[in-house]
Amino acid sequence: MEAVPYGGTDLATEPEEVSRLKSTRRVNIAEVAATAGVSVGTVSRVLNESPNVREHTRTRVIEVMKRLNYRPSRLAESLSRGQTRTVVILVPFLTRPSVTERLAGAISVLDNEGFDTVVRNVETPGQRDRHLAALTTRHEADGAVVVSLRLNSEHLAAMRSGSVPLAMVDTEAPGVPCTVVDDIRGGSLATEHLISLGHRRIGFVGDSPDEFGFVSTRRRLLGYRRTLSAPPTAIFAGSDTQALGVLAAAEKSGHSVPADLSVIGYDDIESAALLGLSTIHQPLTESGARGARRLCALIRGQLVRPLREELPLSVVARTSSAMYAVAGAA
Amino acid sequence: MEAVPYGGTDLATEPEEVSRLKSTRRVNIAEVAATAGVSVGTVSRVLNESPNVREHTRTRVIEVMKRLNYRPSRLAESLSRGQTRTVVILVPFLTRPSVTERLAGAISVLDNEGFDTVVRNVETPGQRDRHLAALTTRHEADGAVVVSLRLNSEHLAAMRSGSVPLAMVDTEAPGVPCTVVDDIRGGSLATEHLISLGHRRIGFVGDSPDEFGFVSTRRRLLGYRRTLSAPPTAIFAGSDTQALGVLAAAEKSGHSVPADLSVIGYDDIESAALLGLSTIHQPLTESGARGARRLCALIRGQLVRPLREELPLSVVARTSSAMYAVAGAA
DNA sequence: ATGAAAGCGCTAACAG
DNA sequence: CTGTTAGCGCTTTCAT
C-alpha cells in the first residue's frame, strides 16, 4: 500500500487520483499464493479463517495480501459456493415513508444475516413487469421479498416453477409466506375512533381505487364504508401522507384541526408522531424485518409457518382528532 | 413449464409450493446445449442476442430454455465478463426523507444504466466503519456512491489504492467526484429570508454538532450564525423534518404559525410542499441521480469533470413564514 | 453459423 | 497443515 497524499496536500493542484479509473490489474488469489510461496488452497483457508493454517503461514499470507492490495472477489466466491448471498427487494414508490420504513427493516435483518440487498424501485406498471419478470427469468439472487405489489397468476406460476424463494410484505398470494395487517379492520378502527369521538359525518381521502395494483388503500376504504356512509366533521385518510395533505388543506382554508375538523391517518409513519397526527399504527419496520427473516428461513430450506402472518393494528390517538364539540348527535 | 394451480384452487388446503424450497436442480447452459443438440457457445449467443445464429437454431434453443425452465446465472456471466454490473450505495439513516429521495434518484439512473443497486444503511459508527471498510476490502461491486458520510484519510487512501470507482453526494473529499450544495450559503439564505420578513430574533434548531460525522447541518448552522446572533420571532430548522417538529411544538404550545412564529426548514422534502413549509430547496433526487451518473462515467473509464459540482439552492417561501407583524424593528 | 476450449477467481474434496 | 485439482456457469476467442 503506497503512501497517498492527503489533507495536507496543496489543494490548488486538485488531486484527482479517484476521478479516473486507474487500470490497476486485479490481483487474484493465485498471485497472492505465488508471491507468498503457498498454494491457493492455503490462501483460501486464511481468507475463510480456517483453523488449519499454521500461524506463521497465516501471518505471511496476510502480509502479502496487504502488500499486493488483494481484494477477494465476491463474485468468484459466490459462484463457487453456489449462492449469491444477495437478496432482491422489490418496492413500489420507494420515497413513501411507509415503504422506506419497511425497507429499512428488511435491510437491517438481511445485513445481519450476511446478505446484500439489491433494491428495485417500481413506479410504473412497466417497471413492475420488468422487475417482476427479472426475478424469475434470471438467477441473480438467493431470493426476493416483494412489498405491496400484487403478483398475477403468471408471476406466481413462474416463481413456483423457478422455485425462487419469495416472501411478501403488505400483500399476499396463495402458497407464499406473507406478512400483512388486516386493512379492512384498520379502516374500521379508524372510523370507529372517529365515531367514538362523536363524529357522524366522516369523509374519506385516499387513492383513486385500483390505480396501480395496490390493494391496501382500497381495503381500508372498504373498512370505512362498512362502518359508515355519510359526510364530514372528520376525515379518515388512507395514509398518513394523505392525512398531512388534509391537515395542510384544512389550515389553508381556515379550518382548525381538531377544533373544526378531526383527522386520522393510517400507517403511523415517523413524522406522524412529530406532527401529532392521530393514526392507525401498523408495524412498518417490523413488517419488513419479518418478511426478510422469513425469506432467510426459506433460503435455509426451512419450512415457514404460518404461511400468512398478520401483524397487529392499533389506533394511536394524538392531537389531530377530538370530540365533536358543536352538536354531537346522540 | 408445468401448469400450476392458482386462484381457483381450494383455499382450504393451503397450497404451499413456495413456502419451502423445492430442490429443483439448477439447469445450466451446458444442459440446455445438450438437449438442444448445440454447443454452449451457441446457447450463449442466443442468450446475448448475437446475430450470428441461424433463425431456426435460435428458435429451437429458446424453446428448450423455456421447456427446461432455464435461468442464466448472473453470477457466472459477471465473473466471465469481469464486471459485476452492481453498484453499492452507502447512505446514513435511510428513512430520512432527504436521504430516500437521493437514493431514489440514484437507483433510477443506475437501473437505466443496467446496474443493480445494493443499498447499505448506516445508523451507527460501527456500521459506518464496517461498510466503508467492505468497500475497499473486498471486490463486490463495480463502484460505490457514498451519501452524506465523511470519509477519513484512511478510507480515502484505501479507496485510492484499491482504485474503487467512487462518487460522493452531499459530502466531499479531495480527488473524488462529488455533488454538493453550499450549505453555508443555504444557512444564509434561510436567515436572510426571515430577516427580509422583518424578523430580528431568530432561533436555530438542528442536530447537536458533530454527532456522527455529518457535516451538512453544522455548516447550515454556520451560515445562520454568520448572518445573525440574537433570539426568536422566527426559527430556522436545519432540516425539514426538524422544522415539522417545530411546527408541531408551536401548535402544541398554542403559538400559531406564521402569525406568532415564522418557520423555515431546509431540503424541501416532498411533504414540505404538502404542509406549506417554507424551506431552502436543494435538488435531492437530482443529487442522487448525478452522483450515480458520474459513477457510471467513472466506471466506463471516463474522466469526470469538474470534480466537484455544486447544485443550486433556492428559497421557497410557503405559508410557514410571514412578515413580522407585532413590532418590526427598523 | 457453429463447435471447442481456455479462462474468470474462488471453494472444497482429496491426497499426503 | 498444505498442495492439487476439479468444478461453479458463463463468455469469448479461434477454428472450421
Confidence (pLDDT) at A5: 29
Q: What is the pLDDT of residue A211?
A: 57
Least confident of A314-328, B11-25, B138-152, B220-234: B11-25
Q: How distant is C1' of C8 from CA of A289, in Å?
A: 36
State the DSSP H helix or E strand holding residue B273, giving kind and residue range, or none if neither.
helix B270-275
- List Cα–Cα distances, B62 to A130, B33, B75, in angstroms: 19, 10, 21
- Cα distances (Å, whole numbers) of residue A291 to A167, A212, A315: 6, 22, 23
Average confidence (pLDDT) over A246-260: 85
- Whether B45 sits with its Cβ under 7 A from any strand C atom: the answer reads yes
Interatomic CA distance for residues B179 and B287, integer angstroms:
6
CA distance A165 to chain B (A): 7
Q: State how far the Cα of A162 lies from the Cα of A156, in Å rounded to an integer.
A: 10
Mean pLDDT of B150-171: 88
The CA distances from residue B133 to A136, B85, B139, B179, in Å, are 33, 20, 11, 22
Contact B121 A107 (CB under 8 A): yes
Distance from CA of B253 to the nearest CA of A (A): 12
Nearest by CB to A71, from B111, B162, B298: name it. Answer: B162
B299 pLDDT band, cuts 50/70/90, is very high
Beta carbons of A176 and B252 less than 8 Å apart: no
Maximum mean pLDDT: which of A200-204, A224-228, B23-27, B322-326: A200-204
Minimal CA separation from B161 to chain A, in Å: 7
The contacts of residue A294 (CB under 8 Å, 6+ apart) are A167, A177, A179, A304, A309
List CB contacts (< 8 A) between B163 and chain A: 18, 21-22, 24
List CB contacts (< 8 A) between A240 and chain B.
none
> Taking Cα atoms as reference points, which of A220, A237, A254 lies closest to residue A321?
A237
Compute the distance between CA of residue B114 and CA of residue B83 in angstroms, rounded to an integer: 12
pTM of whole model > 0.85?
A: yes
> How far does B164 lie from chain A, in Å, by closest CA?
8
Chain B hits for A299, Cβ within 8 Å = 21
Bridge partners (DSSP) listed for residue B263: B235
Average pLDDT over residues B103-121: 98
Question: What pLDDT score does A188 carry?
Answer: 97
> Average pLDDT, stretch B32-50?
96
CA distances (Å), origin B2, targets A64, A158, A162: 53, 10, 10
Backbone angles phi, psi at B236, to 5 degrees: -110, 120
**Tens-place pLDDT, residues A171-216:** 999 999 999 999 999 999 999 999 999 999 899 988 766 556 566 6
Q: Among all strands, which nt has the closest C1' to A52 (CA)?
A: D1
What's residue B9's pLDDT?
34
| Gap from B129 CA to C10 C1', Å | 26
Return mean pLDDT, chain A.
Answer: 87
Which of A69, A159, A276 is opposite residue B252, by nearest beta carbon?
A276
- Least confident segment among A23-27, A295-299, B36-40, B119-123: A23-27
pLDDT score at B12: 36
Chain C bases closer than 7 angstroms to a protein Cβ: 1-5, 7-14
In tens, the pLDDT along B76-106 reads 999 999 999 999 999 999 999 999 999 999 9
Whether A80 CB is under 7 Å from strand C: yes
What digits encode the pLDDT tens for the residues B231-243? 889 999 999 999 9
B297: Cβ contacts below 8 Å, ≥ 6 apart: B304
- Asked if B2 and A161 touch (Cβ cutoff 8 Å), the reply is yes
Are the C-beta atoms of A265 and A98 separated by less than 8 Å?
A: no
Report chain D positions within 7 A of protein CB atoms: 1-5, 7-13
Residue A103 makes CB contacts below 8 A (sequence gap 6+) with A89, A91, A94, A119, A147, A288, B94
Question: At B26, is the pLDDT very low, low, confident or very high (cuts 50, 70, 90)?
Answer: confident
Per-residue pLDDT, A70: 95
| B48, B15 contact by CB (below 8 A) | no
At residue B15, the pLDDT reads 45
- Which residues of chain B have a CB within 8 Å of the CB of A84? 75
Share of chain A above pLDDT 70, in %: 84
Length of chain B: 330
User: What distance lies between CA B248 and its chain's CA centroid?
Assistant: 28
Q: CA-CA distances (angstroms) from residue B286 to B148, B276, B291? A: 15, 22, 8
Residue among B4, B95, B247 minimizing CB distance to A160: B4
- Give chain B positions within 8 Å (CB) of A104: 94-95, 121
Q: Mark residues 243-282 of chain B whose C-beta is closer than 7 A to nucleic acid strand C.
A: none
Does position A217 have pLDDT exceeding 70, yes or no? no
Task: Please give the C-alpha separations between residue B208 and each of A298, B218, B238, B239, in angstroms, as whole numbers.
Answer: 43, 8, 11, 13
Contact between the CB of B52 and strand C at under 7 Å = yes
Tell me the three-class secondary structure of B274-302, residue by residue.
HHCCEEEECCHHHHHHHHHHHHHHHHCCC
Q: Does pLDDT of A3 surpass 60?
A: no
DSSP output for B55-88: HHHHHHHHHHHHHHT---BHHHHHHHHT---EEE
End-to-end CA distance of chain A: 80
